[in-house]
Amino acid sequence: MLAESVIRIGRPIMQSDLSLEERIRLLTDVSSISCKNYFQNVIVAELGKDTDTVHYLTIGMFDGDQKSFQVDARRNVSFPITFPNGGNPLVPQGVYALPCYLMWEPHLKKMMNAEAFAQEILLPRLNSTIGYRELMQEEREKLALRISNLLAENTQRFLREEKQLGILLVFDSRLAVYKIKEQLASEPSDLWIADSLCISDSALYLDGEEFLNQFITAKMDEAASLGKAQNAVSTFSNQVSTEVVSIYNKSWLWLSPTWEMPCSNDWGKTDWIKGIKVDAENYAAFLYGSQFLKEIQVPLSNSLLKEMFAPIMSVEAKKHMKTTSFQPIYGIPLVVPLLDGDSKQNFKKYRHMLKNQQHLSQTDLHMEVLAGMKGSIIPQFSDEHRLTILYYSGDLSRGDMHIRAIIEDIVPSIASKIQSILWKIKNYECGSIQDEFGVQRQPLYKTETLPSLLANAFGPGYVWNVLQKVFHRQSLEMKHLFQATEKKLNELVNKEDYWGMKQELIFFYVFMLFYKLYNEQIRNVKGGVKDLADWKKIIEQYYSGELKDEDFNSLENLGFISGMLLKQFSHSYYMKTNKDFVKQRVMKFGSKLTPVMIWQQGVLRCQELADQWDLKLGVNFWGVLPLVLLGFLSANEKKTLVSEKNVFMTAFWSGYLLYRKPKNDNDSDGTEESIKGGSN
């Protein structure tokens, strides 16, 4: 269950030495960016013994340009507001731990009408406030009217023509969460609200510890609306607890009962307690955990979403997709111990996750590289932990969210090794591969993060599945990559976009290298695919004429060598005829090039055309040609020219585009630069 993981994350945070202010900041929305403008108009209704007064405060200040409001981070914790999740924010939602309410424009305007404000806005909120639960309804009505009258008398101090948002805090010294003390006589748990206007030399304080207790109680009360029970067994502690409540609630909207499922048909409105039920301690841990996860969630960037979900079979189709065409996706990393129990060390690491911009270390897991989550860092955890990555789309604030993928049980050291491979490729190998193809070195965005690399290789339909396979050290099937690469190369060659073809092959060989390193370093499997380093040996042997029969034992080799062979032939052919051999003689009118066409219309005709045009070809060419022809005969017998054409064609274009005329080759008179389409 997700809830079980959330509790296991929340428990060490709850039991940590987190300061009072940090706890309030974590559990409430005082630091939420969407709440900052409410702090521009903070109205404190101070209820005294004899007289009542109103404080009008601005908790923060505008920037120099007067456009952006910055909340005072030292004082905002004294006004612990909670932004409503879903539903109509104008009506009271849930249970309030103290009388501190968010005020929208209609609320503030209504303050001018004391009676209406009392009945329609204030009283429903007081009814849902923990501290006023014990009062009789009449007392609450009187209190609402008293506060409303006070506010109505003072509206000229804080109401303005333009649109306003604000916070109303009712300071009622009868409530346990408040304290009045002499100025400068506060304790660490006292959070200064303002100096008293009713009692001289005194100040109003919020009792932070008491507030936290009331906050948990308020959330428990919210959960109890779907069911509670006394002396029942808590689902997660497996122990009897004096009171347990349903876990389905609005604190963690993933669990909000937005529709009847998974509620049993036999359950009534408050029968959810028959399912999952939690005691106060686990519920508090659940709150800490859920708030923490909200803090560390990260949206995937639009450019990454395009890389992940644009079609990969067509270069043109991908080019024309807008980065804004994709539904936003958010990612959340969770780390919990594999076995039971919590580690006290976990809290320090969780804290490091919150402060992820500082002190980036090589040993940390950079979730941008591994999971596309920018700025998200997982500190080094031992392999006694498991990392889970959760991707969802939709609007969490409305409870309308859909989990796209959940990749569980990732071993931290495996993730770290994958990260090292990706770094190595990005920092060292990618440039070398670009050099081999004669392309200027530049960052290759689609190879820099794992989701993008895998999505471009396997296609959008396989992203999550392959991502999970990689994190779980499973084998990958390469047929999709060959299929996609061959299709794109064919599309590009018909447009004579040789630069584009090189880009596709560069990606292909970056992926091949990743695949090779992944197999060697993570799966302990050697061989299986050819990367550029393997082809370099073949290229050298080709130039020196040292290729032997056994070098043609695979279709991939045959494709690569025939690509080099035809490119060498093309050079000479072009110098004599001023025509591109492959385009004019082999492909014919932009047709789709196949291995059989390369064999029958290309390689088989080399001898005849060389004689006809008296082409000057290197000695090595004549040594390789018969071996290639024999290789085609053999492949034709095995019928692999058709069944493995993707593999052949990818290797063919690799050979074709990697061939360089050796500097000491004086047998032909063409230069590479003069060959049309031979380089970009």
Partner 1 sequence: MKGVVFDLVGTLAHFRKPDTTATQMTYPFITPTAVKGMVGAILGKEDFVTHDIVGIRLMNPVQIVSQQMSMLGKDTGSSFNRPTTIELLINPHYRIYYAGEENVDELSTYLQKEYSVYPTFLGVAYAVTKPKLISVWNQVALAVNEAYGYIETKAVVPSALVGELKVTRGQHYCRAGGFMYCYKGARTFEKSIDFIYEWAGNMIAFKPAKKKLSLNLQIAKFGEDVVCLY
The site for partner 1 (CB under 8 A) is made up of: 1-5, 8, 233, 235-236, 238-239, 247-248, 254-262, 264, 266-267, 271, 274-276, 336, 338-340, 383, 386, 392, 394, 399-406, 408-409, 411, 464-465, 468, 472-473, 524
Nearer to partner 1, 311 or 677 (CB): 311
Nearer to partner 1, 509 or 518 (CB): 518
Least distance CB 474 / partner 1 (angstroms): 8
Nearer to partner 1, 340 or 608 (CB): 340
Q: What is the CA 432 to chain-centroid distance, rounded? A: 29
Distance separating alpha carbons of residues 93 and 219, to the nearest angstrom = 11
Nearer to partner 1, 399 or 655 (CB): 399
How is the beta sheet containing 329-337 ordered, strand by strand? 298-299, 329-337, 385-395, 400-410
Element (H, E) at 458: helix 450-458
Nearer to partner 1, 2 or 629 (CB): 2
Least distance CB 413 / partner 1 (angstroms): 11
Question: Which residues fall within 8 angstroms of residue 638, CB to CB, at 6 or more apart?
Answer: none
Least distance CB 236 / partner 1 (angstroms): 6
Distance separating alpha carbons of residues 588 and 292, to the nearest angstrom = 62
Nearer to partner 1, 152 or 406 (CB): 406
Q: What is the CA 332 to chain-centroid distance, rounded? A: 7
Nearer to partner 1, 5 or 452 (CB): 5
Least distance CB 524 / partner 1 (angstroms): 7
Alpha-carbon distance values, 586 to 444, 593, 622 (Å):
32, 8, 20
Distance separating alpha carbons of residues 596 and 649, to the nearest angstrom = 10
Question: Which residues fall within 8 angstroms of residue 183, CB to CB, at 6 or more apart?
Answer: 195, 201, 202, 203
User: What residue has token string 């490091």?
Assistant: 352
Pair 46, 54: CB distance under 8 Å: yes
Least distance CB 395 / partner 1 (angstroms): 11
Nearer to partner 1, 128 or 256 (CB): 256
Least distance CB 408 / partner 1 (angstroms): 7
Pair 566, 643: CB distance under 8 Å: no
Nearest-CA neighbor of 235 among 278, 272, 264?
278
Least distance CB 514 / partner 1 (angstroms): 20
User: What residue has token string 């304790």?
Assistant: 187
Nearer to partner 1, 340 or 673 (CB): 340
- Sign of the Cα torsion 83, 87, 88, 93 reads negative
Nearest-CA neighbor of 387 among 369, 410, 405, 370?
410
Distance separating alpha carbons of residues 347 and 9, to the nearest angstrom = 9
Nearer to partner 1, 228 or 446 (CB): 228
User: What residue has token string 């006809």?
Assistant: 612
Least distance CB 464 / partner 1 (angstroms): 6
Distance separating alpha carbons of residues 51 and 153, to the nearest angstrom = 13
Tokens representing residue 608 in the block: 């005849």
Least distance CB 253 / partner 1 (angstroms): 9
Nearest-CA neighbor of 103 among 127, 122, 116?
122
Please, is 497 exposed, middle or buried when counting C-beta atoms within 10 Å of its C-beta (0-12, 13-18, 19+)?
Answer: middle
Distance separating alpha carbons of residues 590 and 572, to the nearest angstrom = 22
Least distance CB 172 / partner 1 (angstroms): 38
Nearer to partner 1, 156 or 524 (CB): 524
Least distance CB 93 / partner 1 (angstroms): 18
